[in-house]
Amino acid sequence: MAASIARDATICARMAGSGRGRVISTRRAIIRDALGIAIASGAYAVSFGAISSAAGLSVLQTCALSVLMFTGASQFALVGVVGAGGSVWAGAATAALLGSRNALYGLRLSTILDRSGLKRLLAAHFVIDETTAMAIAREDPVQSRFAFWVTGVALFTLWNLGTLVGALATHFVPDPKVLGLDAAPPAAFLALLAPRLRAREPMAIALAAGVVALVCLPFVPAGVPLLIVAVLVAVFGVMRARR
Amino acid sequence: MMWAGVLVACAACYALKLAGLSLPARLLEDVRVQRTVPLVPVALLAALVAVNTFSTGTHLVLDVRAAAIGVAAVAVLLRAPFLVVVVSAAAIAALLRLL
């Protein structure tokens, strides 16, 4: 009933050509987009749950990562390092390094979101690729805020649901290798990397990073090649910025 | 030990998110930060692809995962959704092990 009233109101408002109608229909478009993103992420969370479980993390640890870390690439990195035989600390460091980009997203969002109070502490948890993209795509700050929160809540819900499903399903598989689950992490990393390779420089950096990691690999503990790569790329970035 | 690592990593990731919202803008607007931070995920994800495909522990290894990443690369080039990329790589690895 409420929905039909809202729909009628939208139609009337649209016919009248008022601003209110545009607001309602824009909000609907935002909700639709947010749900689309959340559903896709939920499916992707199933693969995270499966990979994490296959890497040896318990169902509870896997779910804790999705609830508390809630930033996909970092979560995949932590379980990827652990699954490849590295220590959880090397995995944690890699996850944090990958999470550094969220600080720049936070900077872009700081002008849109409330800068004080408890709400900001909760908002911080939702500062990730998808919510930032949805928020900065709108020009009106009210719509930006709305897009941020709707995307954040929808994604958080389905991300955690998907993680639980993936972790539980894999928990009962005796040998994850039989399902090819050891080939899933590199494919996941490649899928996360691909959208960032749209120019020549990132492609060259990616190639160099892969080679450096493999060259270091036999000589240092598992997981450490990633930290070496992180240091080198940071030095490269700072030197280049200085020019 | 696993729990400690998981929780510390979660805290670090949250702190980074909060830092972006809270720190004075001029710190993060520094040109070195702006130019360097976006390069970190590119390098780390590429290194993760390489390490997870061609190694086990501290040994370089060439096995079915190499074929699987090839299939994943094709799927990525065809703009397949995330789950399709991951599942096709796993399926090829499983299939090749059966043969």
Contacts of B21 in chain A (CB under 8 A): 106-107, 109-110, 113, 115, 120, 123-124, 127
Q: Is the pLDDT of residue A146 over 90?
A: yes
Give me the residues paired with residue B60 across strands. Answer: B55
Q: How far is A214 from chain B (nearest CA, A)?
A: 6
Asked if residues B42 and A129 have their Cβ atoms less than 8 Å apart, the reply is no
Q: How far is CA B15 from CA A25, A95, A106, A107, A151, in A?
A: 36, 12, 11, 13, 21
Does the CB of B78 have a partner CB in chain A at under 8 Å? no
Q: What is the mean pLDDT of chain A?
A: 88
State yes or no: pLDDT of A32 exceeds 70: yes
Query: Residue A100: what pLDDT?
Result: 93
Q: ipTM of the predicted structure?
A: 0.93
Contact A50, A56 (CB under 8 A): no
Query: Mean of the pLDDT values across residues A104-108?
Result: 91
Size of interface A-B (CB pairs under 8 A): 321
Chain centre to alpha carbon of residue B88: 17
Chain A interface test: which of B58, B60, B69, B96 (most A C-beta within 10 Å): B58
pLDDT, residue A176, reads: 78
Contact B10, A65 (CB under 8 A): yes
Q: Which residues of chain A lie closer than 8 angstroms to B25, CB-CB?
A: 107, 110
Position A7 scores a pLDDT of 40
- What pLDDT, on the 0 to 100 scale, is given for residue B25? 81
User: Exposed, middle or buried by CB within 10 Å (0-12, 13-18, 19+), for B34?
Assistant: middle
| Average confidence score pLDDT of chain B | 93
- Report d(CA A225, CA A191) in Å as an integer: 21
Rounded-to-integer distance, Cα A199 and Cα B66, Å:
25
Whether residue B74 lies within 8 A of chain A, CB to CB, comes out as no
pLDDT at A21 over 80: no
Question: What's residue A6's pLDDT?
Answer: 40
Q: What is the pLDDT of residue A20?
A: 58
Model pLDDT, residue A114 = 74
pLDDT bin (cut points 50, 70, 90) of residue A2 is very low
**CA A91 to CA A76: how far, in whole Å?**
9
Rounded Cα distance, A235 and A241, in Å: 10
| Stretch A61-85: mean pLDDT | 96
A54 contacts in chain B (CB < 8 Å): none
Q: Which amino acid is at B63?
A: D
Q: Which residue of B has its CA nearest to A220?
A: B58
Q: Given this model, what pLDDT does residue A19 score?
A: 55
Residue-wise pLDDT for A203-242, tens only, equals 999 999 999 999 999 999 989 999 999 999 999 999 988 7
Asked if B61 has any chain A CB less than 8 Å from its own CB, the reply is no
Distance from the Cα of B46 to chain A's closest Cα (Å) equals 5
Residue B66 contacts A where some CB pair is shorter than 8 Å: no
Q: How many CB atoms lie within 10 A of CB A241?
A: 14
Kindly report the length of chain B: 99
Q: For residue B82, what pLDDT is reported? A: 87
Average pLDDT over residues A78-84: 94
Q: Considering only A13-17, A37-41, B53-57, which range has the smallest mean pLDDT?
A: A13-17
**Is the pLDDT assigned to residue B9 strictly greater than 60?**
yes
Contact: A100, B37; criterion CB under 8 Å: yes
**Residue A3 in this model has a pLDDT that exceeds 90:** no
Query: Degrees (nearest 5) of the Cα angle A135, A137, A138?
Result: 80
Domain residue extents for chain B: 1-34, 38-99
Query: Which residues in chain B have Cβ-Cβ distances shorter than 8 Å to A183?
Result: 64-65, 68-69, 89-90, 92-93
Residues of B in contact with A212 (CB under 8 A): 47
Does any CB of chain A come closer than 8 Å to the CB of residue B62? no
Least confident segment among A100-109, A110-119, A216-225: A110-119
Confidence of residue A167 (pLDDT cuts 50, 70, 90): very high
Contact A226 B85 (CB under 8 A): no
* pLDDT, position B29: 84
Partners of A205 on chain B (C-beta within 8 Å) are 39, 42-43, 46
Q: What is the mean pLDDT of residues B39-65?
A: 94
Q: Among A97-101, B5-9, B22-26, which stretch is predicted with the lowest mean pLDDT?
A: B22-26
Q: Is B33 in CB contact (< 8 Å) with chain A?
A: yes
Backbone phi, psi, residue B56, to 5°: -130, 115
pLDDT at position A9 over 50 = no
Instruction: For A162, name the nearest residue in chain B, comparing CA atoms only.
Output: B83
Query: What end-to-end distance do the CA atoms of chain A give, in Å?
Result: 63
On chain B, the residues whose CB falls within 8 A of the CB of A241 are 31-32, 34-36
